[in-house]
Chains A and B, each alone.
Chain A
């Protein structure tokens, strides 16, 4: 308690222990997860030595890059004791990440030289080392989280064509690296995706959801028609594998218009829909997501999310935030209290209309416009998680399609494990 009081008196950011003490209703493991995402990890030689390429998933077909800018064989990510994932990126030591090292022969997270929590490396999917009929390594077509299959159909975003990509985004740099260093196809063949998903599903009990995302593509008769057409084609091909018309699945796409949303729902096995607004507040949205602002606009983005609820159903639509960019300069909120209040106010407006908001911890990446700035304090991320979770409770919004198991990247939706709706 002494440290917490002192920290409050000194008005300095709280340490993890202090945040845990101050917010006893937020599970310490969720606070730890947010902190590891915030600070990143560094793997010791011993921790890398414990990486078994036959048993563990290693960094592969990421659509976005690592914080230290490298592509190398490292654990894809980590699993905590409570079954939740920490999706985190290797981070240079000078940025003070958590260390992953061995403790009594097992991988642990270390902070200030002390072991704080055991972790597991993600299990390697059976299909990763197989090749598709075109000769492509299957892990370069479809990738996996502990219980989710990821399809990244292409790795570009036309918002970058006129330099209007999002301020925190490195999709283009990552696409080049993926292509040059890993031989990842720039655009997937829907039939090949189906072939790989089929192979993946031979592993019993492994996958609880199918997930699809790519960058925005403005092309088409109506803007984004080509993006929608391509998703539909892939989802239809994959859907042919199933005996039911709808499967547990999530698409993160652009905010599509009513006709496009209806097609996505009607013509595919898709059951949930996400269009990431990235940051709440119109001015900040315009500043950080100029491409989205140019082609759709903040108010229309929100309207389309609400419209999607009519189509997909309540508790099946959400939007994601890259939490922390709202505090960057220029233009960011002056302090975390203001940022939290304004963000939750906007999130409540969406929640009251059936749209959930989830966040990921912004991980500043090299080569992005705001990559040299810092993300927010741990206390901010803890309060934001509790706040967004609280809105789901207030408006009774289920988030099962984007929870600790189906996604694993949102401290706020981890908390829904205690909800009974």
Chain B
């Protein structure tokens, strides 16, 4: 079931200064992580990823995912500790046609003489806010026992 990425997170994902990491899984279930700055969100709210190398692990793992319905994850981290994770499913790869050509031209104008193997479309299935503030509030609400007591002491409290 597709899910929508909130507007502020789309902004972060589309920020070229943010760090974006794509996590895929190989045939033995071992995660493979790679920084992929070419990730962004399209107008339909799907992740778009331009793969430069046909033989890369990420590309092979994406093929495995589209063939066998497996998920991939993307972690985005920006300024001020803002970060979130999107779990999604690769639903399409473009190897030819207008979208492929657009990305081929764009990435070559940015990076010079590079090749493009495929443009992957990943449909978001779940969005997890990974910022410390958001995760900590969530944990405190859900797991009230998971806390160190000294953190709960009144600032002005004394033994007397």
Contacts and interface: CB of A to CB of B under 8 A. Distances in A.
Contact of B64 (A55, A120, A122, A418): A418
Contacts of A83: 93-95, 118
A204 B63 CA distance: 24
Contacts of A146: 95-97
B36 interface: no
B144 to A, nearest CB: 43
Given A81-B91, A83-B118, A418-B60, A206 B96 contact: yes
27 contacts: A27-B67, A27-B68, A29-B67, A55-B98, A81-B92, A81-B93, A82-B92, A82-B93, A83-B93, A83-B94, A83-B118, A120-B97, A122-B96, A123-B98, A146-B96, A203-B101, A204-B104, A205-B100, A205-B105, A405-B54, A405-B95, A417-B60, A417-B63, A418-B63, A420-B55, A420-B57, A420-B60
A55 B101 CA distance: 13
Interface string A1-39: 000000000000000000000000001111000000000
Interface string B26-60: 01000000000000000000000000001101001
Nearest to A118: B92
Nearest to A408: B95
Interface in B89-137: 91-98, 100-101, 104-105, 108, 116, 118
Question: Which are the 3 A-B pairs with shortest beta-carbon distances?
Answer: A205-B104, A27-B67, A146-B96
Contacts of B97: 79, 120, 123, 146
Interface of A: 27-30, 55, 79, 81-83, 120, 122-123, 146-147, 203-206, 405, 417-418, 420
Contacts of A420: 55, 57, 60
A30 B68 CA distance: 11
A205 B67 CA distance: 25
B18 interface: no
**Most chain A CB atoms below 10 A, which of B27, B96, B98, B105:** B96
B104 A82 contact: no
B68 to A, nearest CB: 7
Contacts of B108: 204
A85 B27 CA distance: 24
Given A81-B92, A83-B118, A204 B101 contact: yes
Contacts of A417: 60, 63
Given A122-B96, A123-B96, 12 more contacts: A81-B91, A82-B63, A82-B92, A83-B93, A146-B95, A146-B96, A203-B101, A205-B100, A405-B54, A418-B27, A418-B63, A420-B57
A175 B19 CA distance: 57
Nearest to B118: A83
Given A82-B93, A83-B93, A120-B97, A204 B68 contact: no
B114 to A, nearest CB: 11
B93 to A, nearest CB: 4
B67 A82 contact: yes
B21 interface: no
Contacts of A120: 97
Nearest to A405: B95
A81 B68 CA distance: 13
A418 B67 CA distance: 10
Nearest to B92: A81
A405 B116 CA distance: 13
A382 B35 CA distance: 36
B101 A205 contact: yes
B66 interface: yes
A34 to B, nearest CB: 14
Contacts of A82: 63, 66-67, 92-93
A391 to B, nearest CB: 19
Contacts of B63: 82, 417-418
Interface string B67-91: 1100000000000000000000001
A29 B92 CA distance: 12
A30 B66 CA distance: 11
Contacts of B93: 81-83
A205 B98 CA distance: 10
Contacts of A79: 96-97
Nearest to B66: A82
A204 B103 CA distance: 11
**Most chain B CB atoms below 10 A, which of A29, A81, A82, A123:** A82
Nearest to B59: A417
Nearest to B93: A83
A417 B68 CA distance: 13
B27 to A, nearest CB: 7
B101 A206 contact: yes
**Most chain B CB atoms below 10 A, which of A27, A83, A203:** A83
A60 B150 CA distance: 78
Contacts of A206: 96, 101
Contacts of A55: 98
Nearest to A403: B54
A123 to B, nearest CB: 4
A276 B118 CA distance: 30
